[in-house]
Structure 1
């Protein structure tokens, strides 16, 4: 099995990522970030807003449109309201990033098997996968710039100027900017270029200076045309949004400088190997390609330091660090595969036994733990329970066996199969946590609107998840602390419990409010007030 996987690395990678991400792509509940992006995609299709992007009919220029375009095209092909269709482009970008990781590793003069394992580490890292359900646009920005860096690295390393490589690098850099602005330039490219200078020294760079300058000019043109167009097509909205977004960098979600220094935890399965791979004095003596290891080591650390300088910090902003971290972790895994059977020092062997032994223990204990988690829902998820339990139990047992035999190569691939089994068999079980009996889809409101011949408005902005589920636009009529009354004699109104008294007072003199229904989009037991709205029928007296 392992020989077959390593013989066809790209096919193997394609199958693994497809099984992990595509089979149950529509199962996870939609998140607030996804809802924002998918609403913009849907409105592109419905309203033909392909350049001046919108959300709920309002300008949304916070993010460039390339991922929205790709998502909208997928929606046109497979259904504009299909979560599978809308998540598909981002999932394919994970596979694309895995391909780039493989080829980039080869450029670092690593073996095919080492390069394949690097790509597997990347696509199974926790936040590379997890970010798909939180902020899909990040994977586009970082995946495209990684491809651009591959061609740029090739340009730097070749002895002659290669205009084709410069052009392709510029195209992918431009695509990255059209995905999330200059974010990846700061988080991925700048750390790359600094670490490249430290390790590879920009040898023979003079003859490549003109192609490199041309690359910069071209990617700036490709990546900034949308910003320039929107700036002049809708200057007022663009400047207001730009001012708000730049202000967030220093005033919103501010965290201390050291907030990111547990970044290796974001790699999930690879947390301990990733940490040990960062112990430079230890690993530099044990790797074969010392220059490549130094390069990925500095790339990782510099990326974390640069991200730490920005006051606004979120866990998902660490995703670009996982690219060089996967490459760096691969050196440690390669060392273990070759040398672990001969290691005698407990300081070297105990972390390995602990890391993979913990994964094996989880697999062995999983059937018992899952049985109690399912509780009353056991019969409903019986097939998933049996398949997941058998897969993880078997993997856990074989992993213990391979550790006893000191066969880290088998242990590594069993870890991949562990992750794969959870996605293939276990993801549907996540629905067991959807236990809110009060859940009421706001999409059903359209039937009432049609029956009464009314249009619905909102007091305050409605959350993206509700707008997505509603499948329409809900105009906010309460702006600048005053109500802007619709012209209709009768209309629907969505308000929160907290604002009812105030709104009722303002409407009381001229309008009558009749409570109709509560819409609650909380799928789990934990109740978030932002996902609850009361619906009233408002009539002029």
Structure 2
């Protein structure tokens, strides 16, 4: 419950504050077209087939939109937050099943849900969080199957459903990147406590789970073979030709844990920790699991930072051993080589809390032309106090108190910056959006708008409906008046078309979905032309 409450307090209040990203827009559009067009199985984006990603996360997003409304960004992001809650709870439960005590297991869960990229991935809305969480469901079921003295159909079903849902979320990515290294590590470390009969039984379970997961792919291949083949060929080609990085690209993986970077790194130092951890065998397992994830992901030529997310799961459990050791023994440590990294790791966080509060005050009085709510000043003061108290607890060698204040500080940071971001958006320049266009022209939202050669997912999402793409103005045949979206900075615009002479048009309506000073993107800028056929 502690983990669930922490995630709720950290993520839910300002879940709709950040602007919709390009990946979010793609997924939200697909969810919208499930509801408006009924494309639940043969999924689409902007009216065109989108089989690059399987549909389970989009189904969950669409169901949430049915409750909160298709325009509610908060509602659309909610399922991903629920996945983070489940992820943290599973880290705790799995740790307990591996015989770790309650407090140690709690730290594992807290480290997992507060790791940097676990939080960021919710706001980017790729489907990784679903795939890896469902895989962790399967992993927990596997541990229960191995530890059971008799056949447990409940946990067998849990494994099948977990694997099936993982594949239905992001294909076999998590099965390869998280489950396979788990099975290898578990088989090596706990080989004496498992039997060949259990492994044979597990093989059959895995096949059933994969069959469930790949059922959607098989259906789409049957229902729309040509499109499916073209998309599959392109996606497969990306593995070896797109975002290709060297083998060592992921070697700084521990930095993805953000606040926990230094403890995560020290937790990987086996010669140092092997005599200090509370459970050597489980520590060996989490360490091997973590390293195997990195190695298997490094083998694939295509690499992105977010692809490292599965390593944060075993890494959280591995880091927990070091944190548990510090809580248990730090007051007795006198060797500076052991104490200095701890003072640096948590001292920097305490100083950062104080620094953020000072910087926030500076912005409020010198840079930001807004009047924030009074409660913002309260939170700024609290953040400074928490930073000072954290440094005090660190000086007193109370690591448990440091962790508690760290969690409190994270929450205060969110409640300090959230309202400021909202006010900054409100104070930014006038927003030239689609609503303004419809009001200015005096037409209904249902009036078709076409895109000339290109458009962006953010524009389609903001439009609230599809923007069909045309390659040439000669495709406009039925009707006398047409509304055409033209992206800014495209190589060839509407006015360059050889068919533009067949139409009359005035100055276009300018659309800019960016907010001033808030992550400006060219693809969120464009023009809408009103074209009238010449007689």
Q: TM-score range by the shorter chain?
A: over 0.9
Q: Give 2:436's aligned residue.
A: 444
1:337-376 residue pairs with structure 2 within 5 A?
Answer: 337-374=327-364, 375-376=366-367
User: How many angstroms apart in 1 are the aligned matches of 2:446 and 2:207?
Assistant: 55
Verify the 8 A CA contact 1:341 1:407 in the aligned structure 2. yes
Q: Give 1:530's aligned residue.
A: 523
The alignment status of 1:283 with 2:273, answered yes or no, reads yes
1:186-197 residue pairs with structure 2 within 5 A?
Answer: 186-197=176-187
Q: Give 1:459's aligned residue.
A: 452
Q: C-alpha displacement at 1:393, in angstroms?
A: 1.1
CA separation of 1:157 and 1:524: change in aligned 2, threshold 3 A: farther
Verify the 8 A CA contact 2:373 2:419 in the aligned structure 1. no
CA separation of 1:502 and 1:463: change in aligned 2, threshold 3 A: closer
The alignment status of 1:255 with 2:248, answered yes or no, reads no
Verify the 8 A CA contact 1:449 1:455 in the aligned structure 2. no
The alignment status of 1:492 with 2:483, answered yes or no, reads yes
Q: C-alpha displacement at 1:532, in angstroms?
A: 1.0
Q: 1:237 aligns with which of 210, 227, 248?
A: 227
User: How many angstroms apart in 2 are the aligned matches of 1:483 and 1:296?
Assistant: 62
Q: C-alpha displacement at 1:382, in angstroms?
A: 4.5
User: How many angstroms apart in 2 are the aligned matches of 1:287 and 1:156?
Assistant: 24
Q: Could you tell which deviates more after superposition, 420-429 or 45-54? A: 420-429
SS of match in other structure, 2:505: strand
- Relative to the length of structure 2, the TM-score reads 0.94
User: How many angstroms apart in 1 are the aligned matches of 2:192 and 2:463?
Assistant: 55
Verify the 8 A CA contact 1:436 1:524 in the aligned structure 2. yes
Q: Give 2:311's aligned residue.
A: 321
CA separation of 1:484 and 1:114: change in aligned 2, threshold 3 A: same
Verify the 8 A CA contact 2:437 2:509 in the aligned structure 1. no
SS of match in other structure, 2:526: strand
Verify the 8 A CA contact 1:33 1:134 in the aligned structure 2. yes
SS of match in other structure, 1:461: coil
Q: C-alpha displacement at 1:164, in angstroms?
A: 2.7
State the Cα deviation string for residues 316-338 of structure 1 (Å, max 9, x = none). 11111100000000000000000
Q: C-alpha displacement at 1:445, in angstroms?
A: 3.3
Pairwise CA RMSD: 2.0
Q: Which runs of 5+ in 1 are unaligned?
A: 1-10
State the Cα deviation string for residues 23-56 of structure 1 (Å, max 9, x = none). 1111111111111111111111111111111111
Q: 2:264 aligns with which of 265, 274, 279?
A: 274
Q: Give 2:410's aligned residue.
A: 419
Q: Which runs of 5+ in 2 are unaligned?
A: none
The count of aligned residue pairs is 529
SS of match in other structure, 1:444: helix
SS of match in other structure, 2:78: helix
Q: 1:389 aligns with which of 380, 402, 407?
A: 380
Verify the 8 A CA contact 2:51 2:228 in the aligned structure 1. yes
Q: Give 1:99's aligned residue.
A: 89
Q: Give 2:62's aligned residue.
A: 72
Verify the 8 A CA contact 2:452 2:493 in the aligned structure 1. no
Q: C-alpha displacement at 1:190, in angstroms?
A: 1.0
Q: C-alpha displacement at 1:102, in angstroms?
A: 0.5
- Relative to the length of structure 1, the TM-score reads 0.93
State the Cα deviation string for residues 139-178 of structure 1 (Å, max 9, x = none). 1110011011011022123344333322211111101111
Verify the 8 A CA contact 2:77 2:125 in the aligned structure 1. no
The alignment status of 1:405 with 2:396, answered yes or no, reads yes
SS of match in other structure, 1:491: strand
Q: C-alpha displacement at 1:453, in angstroms?
A: 9.2
Q: Give 1:48's aligned residue.
A: 38
Q: C-alpha displacement at 1:430, in angstroms?
A: 2.8
Q: Give 1:5's aligned residue.
A: none
Q: Give 1:505's aligned residue.
A: 497
